[in-house]
Amino acid sequence: MREIDINSNDNTLFVTSQCNNRCLMCAQPPLDKDDIEFYFSRNLAAVSTAPKELTDIGITGGEPTLLGTKLFDLLQYIHEYLPQTLIHILTNGRAFADINYTQELAKCNYSNLLLGIPMHSDYSSDHDYITQVKGSYSETLKGLYHLAEIGISIELRIVINKINYLRLPRISKFIYKNLPFVDYISFMGLEDIGYSIKNHSQVWIDPVQYQNQLEEAVLDLATWGMNVSIFNLPHCLLKPTLHEYARKSISDWKTKYLPMCNNCDAKNICCGLFSTSKQQSAYIHSI
Q: Which of 44, 99, 150, 287 binds ligand SF4 (CB under 6 A)?
A: 287
Write down the least CB distance from residue 47 to ligand SF4, Å.
Answer: 34
- Please list the alpha-helical segments (H only) found in 62-98: 70-81
267 binds ligand SF4 (CB under 6 A): yes
Binding footprint of ligand SF4, residue count (CB under 6 A) = 17
Interface of this chain with ligand SF4, residues 224 to 253, rule: CB under 6 A? 234-236
Cα 54 to Cα 83: distance, rounded to the nearest angstrom? 10
Write down the least CB distance from residue 191 to ligand SF4, Å.
Answer: 15
Q: Which of 132, 161, 184, 136 has the alpha carbon at shortest distance from 233?
A: 161
| Closer CB to ligand SF4, 64 or 234, in the complex | 234
217 binds ligand SF4 (CB under 6 A): no
45 binds ligand SF4 (CB under 6 A): no
| Closer CB to ligand SF4, 52 or 256, in the complex | 256
Q: Which helix (H) or strand (E) holds 39?
A: helix 36-48
Beta carbons within 10 angstroms of residue 282's beta carbon: 7
* Residue-level length of the chain: 287
Binding region for ligand SF4 (CB under 6 A) out of 14-22, 35-43, 151-159, 261-269: 261-269
Cα 122 to Cα 141: distance, rounded to the nearest angstrom? 10
Q: Which of 148, 19, 12 has the alpha carbon at shortest distance from 89?
A: 12
208 binds ligand SF4 (CB under 6 A): no
264 binds ligand SF4 (CB under 6 A): yes
31 binds ligand SF4 (CB under 6 A): no
Cα 285 to Cα 264: distance, rounded to the nearest angstrom? 8
**CB contact at 8 A, 115 and 147:** yes
* Contact set with ligand SF4 (CB under 6 A): 234-236, 257-258, 260-261, 264, 266-267, 270, 272-273, 284-287
